[in-house]
Structure 1
Amino acid sequence: MQPGLQPIDDDLVRRLIAGRFPQWAGMSVERLASGGTVNAMYRLGDDMAVRLPLVAGGAQDVVTEQEWLPRLADRLPVAIPEVLGAGEPAEGYPWPWSVHRWLVGEHPDAGVLGEPVLLATDLAGFVAAMRSITLPRAPRAYRGGPLAALDASTRAAIEELRRIPQEGVNCDAAVAVWEEALRTPETEGASAWLHADLMPGNLLVDGGRLTAVIDFGCMGVGDPACDLFPAWNLLPTDARRAFREALDVDDATWKRGRARTLSQALIALPYHRRTNPAMAHNARHVIREVLGEG
């Protein structure tokens, strides 16, 4: 665990379950390995999962999911987490938490996708379905604001990476990609429902095809470019092209999506390079893919 994370262990989860959901007391509890930094996940019995925030900032995400996931489920083409129970602070644990139905599948690996073009089509179908949602009073997506809002943090990350030459990042090329996107006019009136965190660790596949999308803590309305992340954090070139074509993405939105994905990776790499191998590995992959496009 990184410093500052809420301590959570198997015994605490058992006590929380027994106190809030006595019908599930005595079921097996097993912590799931994860590269995530906001929530801990435990398998409960064979058919459920417990999701508990590790940081205060994750508490509102849980509440948002509890409110909105039931309203989104029948509007999307693949499974999403089903909230079976809403937990409350107890046993010294300070935040709300959830019990979800267990979803079967594996996280995709960018280097060994079984059906990359078909997966790209599946992902495009999910993104398109999210964009078609018109539910009122939607939250603002965590990453959905103007690209310029990321300028200071992105440039700071690039300068930090200049001081880590062993990472081999072409920082001048990163600046060029970033500044090109900043010069690209924002698409007038562009706003849509987003998942806003389509990382490989939030996708489940079976037989190479998308079966579920998880972790909706960042969801809400914002710039459609935010849900183009899989083009560079997961898909190879031919599948990336299929993803774009299926969504019919214009040049301006594509440039913003590429820059947003690069920004996230540039910020994540120096922060996670010694503490979270999964996050650092995917950040390096994104940087290579984006800068390799020229």
Structure 2
Amino acid sequence: MPSVREVAMHEGQVNVTAETVALLIRDQFPRWSGRKIRPVHSTGTDNAIFRIGDDLAARFPLRPADAAETLAALRREARASAELAQVSRFPAPEPIALGEPGAGYPMPWSVQTWLTGTVASDADPGGSDAFAEDLADFIAGLRQTDTRGRRFSGTGRGGVLTHHDDWMAKCFEESGELLDVPRLRQVWSRLRELPRTGADVMSHSDLIPGNVLVTGGRLSGVLDTGGFAPADPALDLVGAWHLLRRGPREVLRSALGCDDLEWERGKAWAFEQAMGLVWYYVESNPAMSAMGRRTLDRVLESTD
């Protein structure tokens, strides 16, 4: 059986096959041995995912990294996922176990519950007001969660916009033959200066179509919840631009009561993410690259 990824997305990417997964489960979790192992083909970029029977999923990091560091990261993600699952108004995966390196796979890996539904990248609920209301309900529920004194940490999205200038410079450089870079530079020059006013709130941190499940046109679950953490209140508004067309986008804004500044900062974080997606995945993950283009088109449309 071929690996989940036909084209490597990252330098030195680790290859994972169903045979490898079966061996790891046989050796480390014999209670699941004999269950059918099925690769999950998705637009995801960080993990290879395999279903274990009908109710579990195993996630294998694709980027090579130190085993001890990977284990620490997986433990942090498991804690975050468990916390979000407890407070979310919509189903979310719950961590079940952590696996060890073996059978040719060099890093720790994780097992969580499997959720049914269709990812929004396939279902495309972007024109649905009801879905927009569900998404607003989900975001509002996370915002109401106690941060317990925690604050944003790290270098990713959700902190200070100007800290991403170097990354954006690289994105502009790499996108010269793909996008209208002069125009996009002008957009970023305005967005990057938007001031921060609100205190950190708990955020999913990556509300892209591949991390949202849809059933019957409604939000039925959220995935990739290991980034649940305090961040800029505008961060989860990226979902408005990644997932929704203009009308439903305004439904979400109204439901959350976003003022102009918070709304524009959400646009800024979506813009920053989309710029990287377009060029980085243009060959290795065309669907993800196309999603970035669509988000940029929505941002540009809103600035005309």
Please say whether Structure 1 and Structure 2 have the same fold, judged by a TM-score greater than 0.5.
yes
Aligned to 1:140: 153
Aligned to 2:91: 79
User: Which of 245, 257, 265 is residue 236 of structure 1 equivalent to?
Assistant: 245
Q: 1:112 to 1:66 in 2, by over 3 A?
A: closer
Q: Are 2:264 and 1:255 equivalent residues in the alignment? A: yes
Q: Kindly report structure 1 stretches of 4+ aligned residues shifted beyond 6 Å.
A: none
Amino acid at match of 1:230: G
Deviation at 1:110, TM superposition (A): 8.2
Matched residue of 1:84: which SS?
A: strand
CA distance in 2, matches of 1:289, 1:115: 13
Q: 1:115 to 1:207 in 2, by over 3 A?
A: farther
Q: Is the 8 A contact 1:115 1:209 kept in 2?
A: no
Aligned to 2:3: none
Report which stretch shifted further, 73-82 or 111-120: 111-120
Q: Is the 8 A contact 2:124 2:243 kept in 1?
A: no
CA distance in 2, matches of 1:130, 1:44: 29
Aligned to 1:185: 195
Q: Is the 8 A contact 2:93 2:115 kept in 1?
A: yes
Matched residue of 1:183: which SS?
A: coil
Aligned to 2:59: 51
CA distance in 1, matches of 2:103, 2:31: 18
CA distance in 2, matches of 1:239, 1:178: 24
- List runs of 5+ in structure 1 lacking aligned partners: none
Q: Is the 8 A contact 1:121 1:243 kept in 2?
A: yes
Superposed CA RMSD = 2.1
Deviation at 1:86, TM superposition (A): 2.1
Over the matched positions of the two proteins, sequence identity in percent amounts to: 36
Q: Is the 8 A contact 1:114 1:208 kept in 2?
A: no
Matched residue of 1:46: which SS?
A: coil
User: Which of 116, 124, 136 is residue 128 of structure 2 equivalent to?
Assistant: 116
User: Which of 84, 101, 109 is residue 113 of structure 2 equivalent to?
Assistant: 101
CA distance in 2, matches of 1:21, 1:68: 23
Q: 1:290 to 1:130 in 2, by over 3 A?
A: same
CA distance in 2, matches of 1:135, 1:160: 37
CA distance in 2, matches of 1:62, 1:290: 33
Q: Is the 8 A contact 2:191 2:265 kept in 1?
A: yes
CA distance in 2, matches of 1:117, 1:99: 34
What CA deviation, in whole Å up to 9, does each residue of 1:271-293 have, x standing for no partner?
Answer: 11111111111011011111111
Q: Is the 8 A contact 2:80 2:227 kept in 1?
A: no
What CA deviation, in whole Å up to 9, does each residue of 1:11-36 have, x standing for no partner?
Answer: 11111111221110011101110111
Spell out the pairing of 1:1-294 with structure 2 (5 A cutoff): 1-2=7-8, 3-56=11-64, 59=70, 60-109=72-121, 112-113=124-125, 116-136=128-148, 138=150, 140=153, 142-162=156-176, 164=177, 167=178, 169-187=179-197, 189-293=198-302, 294=304
Deviation at 1:101, TM superposition (A): 1.5
Matched residue of 1:80: which SS?
A: coil
Deviation at 1:206, TM superposition (A): 0.1
TM-score w.r.t. structure 1 length? Answer: 0.91
Corresponding pairs, count: 289
Q: Is the 8 A contact 1:27 1:44 kept in 2?
A: yes
Deviation at 1:91, TM superposition (A): 2.8
Report which stretch shifted further, 113-122 or 143-152: 113-122
Q: Is the 8 A contact 1:32 1:41 kept in 2?
A: yes
Deviation at 1:159, TM superposition (A): 3.2
TM-score w.r.t. structure 2 length? Answer: 0.88
Q: Is the 8 A contact 1:89 1:95 kept in 2?
A: yes
Matched residue of 2:16: which SS?
A: coil
